[in-house]
Structure 1
Amino acid sequence: MASCLQLPMASSAYPERKSWRSSKTVCRSTSSRSAAAKIPMPPLNPRDPFLTKLASVASTYPNLKPPINSNSDTPPYLDLFDDYSPKLMASPAQVERSVSYNEHRPRKPPPDLPSLLLHGRIVYIGMPLVPAVTELVIAELLYLQYMDPKEPIYLYINSTGTTRDDGETVGMESEGFAIYDAMMQLKNDIETVAVGAAIGQACLLLAAGKKGRRFMMPHAKAMIQQPRVPSSGLMPASDVLIRAKEVVTNRDTLIKLLSRHTGNSLEKVTNVMKRPFYMDSSRAQEFGVIDKILWRGQEKIMADAASPEEWDRKAGIKVADAI
């Protein structure tokens, strides 16, 4: 500091004052760095119980390095959680409480439920048949056929069809027909299960499953009804008449398809559809909408049951060749 105070100050010119200020700044910074370098660090106490316990806990978590394959086409660390389970080092919270803040946090983000069901070859319809639902269901059916065209697909249905509970139309009848056509075009066997409700077009999808593999929960409901005319609003009379004719065409198509899959005549289906026809599980089985009623333990009974071909083979019955 003494050398800094003895700077020449004879002249009062601006350059001299500028050099004096810069020299003063350099001296202050130099003195502050020297003072900071002389601050003593507190000594580490090797007998500190906390540090001893921290070291013992940390020794149980070795600092492993994940294997990185340099010859792989995958960039490093993108497949870190596939082949390697990382271990976290001990933290003070773990030492003091033996519980980490991230103890119950999963290592991977959990997948969404539709993806989990799709992994089990399950397609769930739990909403009215609006365009967004139809798009998703058809995409899932096509994807499952692409993955394995021989394994069956399980279609769970809890839908009010193209209407809501109060009868208001929310979708066109073509939404149900689109899913039905996709089911008929697939190579896979589709097993249908009704949970909750299968109303209108949803009842058609329930009946369109593989014969012998159409199921219903004990307290589920099925109902068939005529298609409803959408709200006409301020349409002219000619447009209303065109819509009414289209609804009649959809009704006739629905009657034919229900007659085909339930085994009933067109006249019987037409008569029961004059008014909403509700069916519980037993009545739906009698009408031909389903084949079996599910209850707890039914899956094991169904798995142990022999196929019709096996029964014929055991009984010595041979199928005659087609003429």
Structure 2
Amino acid sequence: MNSIWNSAASLSSGLKGLGYIVGSDEEERSEKQNNVENIIEKQFLEQRKIIISSAINQKIAEKTIKSLFLMEGLDNTKPITMIINSPGGDVFSGFAIFDIMRAIKSPVITLVAGFAASMGSIIMLGSKKGKRYATRNSKILIHQPLIGGFFEGRATEIEIQAKEIQETKDRIINLYVEETGKSREDIAKDVEMDYWMTAEQAKEYGLIDKIISSMDEVV
């Protein structure tokens, strides 16, 4: 019986060596993928670039904020370029990124490449005026906060939630007013529904400063 187990163990070891064991192969591929991602992240760190290319949530906010602080710590005089291609996401996570962009000493440049929707457009405004760019085929979406599901709970709790939603809406409207120079009435009307803009329309609206065709134009 022992000889059977020994033979099986020997065969298994041999197959692993030849790469026939799926688990081993997957682990190797995963390790290689992680190595590639680490190399890419290192390159972006050296180039002082951050990419937000997914829905904005707490995990994305944490990673982005860590990168901002890290780059500021390395050199707070050089600009950081944040490239945005995002459908938006969590309001609190988005404003966390926005606030830190404004709080650090390093100048931050934002570049929309694809689209900046909802909270993505808020993060886009995290850079100062004159430092907001978009590629020619990009699109921008502004709207009021979206609430999923339905309200459930005691009347007092629903009132509190409704108040929070209204306060968030007001904060977003005020930010768009401040950054675009448009009237509150115009902004409030535009965000009632999804308001999509081309890069050219977003520039005319006051959301971005320049449409680029080359990274050499980002200064």
TM score, norm. by length of structure 2: 0.78
Supply the distance in 1 between the matched residues of 2:115 and 2:218 (Cα, whole angstroms): 23
**Normalising to structure 1: TM-score of the pair?**
0.54
Structure with more of its chain in helix, by fraction: 2
CA distance in 1, matches of 2:122, 2:135: 17
Deviations 1:74-101 (A, max 9, x none): xxxxxxxxxxxxxxxxxxxxxxxxxxxx
How far did residue 178 of structure 1 move? Answer: 0.7
Q: Are the aligned partners of 2:151 and 2:158 in contact in 1 as well (CA < 8 Å)?
A: no
Determine if the alignment matches structure 1 residue 219 to structure 2 residue 137: yes
- Say how many residue pairs are matched: 185
Query: More strand per residue: 1 or 2?
Result: 2
How many angstroms does 1:238 deviate by?
A: 3.1
In structure 2, the residue matched to 1:136 is 63
1:281 aligns with 2:208: no
Instruction: Report the counterpart of residue 84 of structure 2 in structure 1.
Output: 157
Write the letter of the residue equivalent to 2:199: S
1:180-219 equivalences under 5 Å are 180-219=98-137
Instruction: Give 3-state SS (helix, strand or coil) of 2:121's partner.
Output: helix
CA distance in 2 between counterparts of 1:224 and 1:238 reads: 30
Residue 224 of structure 1: how far off its partner (Å): 0.4
SS at match of 1:116: helix
Q: 1:292–1:192: structure 2 CA closer, same or farther, 3 Å change rule?
A: same
Partner of 1:145: helix, strand, or coil? helix
Shift of 1:141: 0.5
- Max radius of gyration: which structure? 1
1:129-167 CA distance string (max 9 Å, x none): 1100000001100111111010000010011111xxxxx
Q: 1:249 to 1:148 in 2, by over 3 A?
A: same
Q: Which moved more, 1:209-218 or 1:152-161?
A: 209-218
2:95 maps to 177
Aligned sequence identity (%): 28
- Corresponding residue number in structure 2 for 1:122: 49
Contact 2:83 2:112 in 1 (8 A): yes
CA distance in 2, matches of 1:201, 1:228: 11
Cα 1:202/1:130, change in 2 over 3 Å: same
Please name the residue that 2:26 is paired with: none
| In structure 1, C-alpha distance between the alignment counterparts of 2:104 and 2:218, rounded to whole Å | 24
Quote the RMSD (CA, aligned, Å): 1.9
